[in-house]
Amino acid sequence: MIYSCQTKCCHYIFLGSEQQRACPDCGKTQLRPANAAERAEFFRRYTAALPPRRRSG
């Protein structure tokens, strides 16, 4: 489950679980499930952090 932090000035988007319901950035528990746009943002950042793949051919 991807969560979005609701704390003012944080808005951190992260992959959490039912057990982990605290923001890893600010430590607050004011979270809500991320919406579609926030999930897209999360995956864009997540994939950008991975090393680029070489294309064969």
Phi first, then psi: give them for residue 38, nearest 5 degrees.
-70, -35
Question: Which of 41, 17, 21 lies closest to 29, judged by CA?
Answer: 21
Q: Does 23 participate in binding Zn ion (rule CB under 5 A)?
A: yes
Q: Least distance from C-beta 53 to Zn ion, angstroms?
A: 31
Q: Judged by CB, which is closer to Zn ion: 12, or 41?
A: 12
Q: Does 22 bind Zn ion (CB under 5 A)?
A: no
Cβ proximity of 11 and 23 under 8 Å: no
Instruction: Give contact residues for Zn ion (rule: CB under 5 A).
Output: 5, 7, 10, 12, 23, 25-26
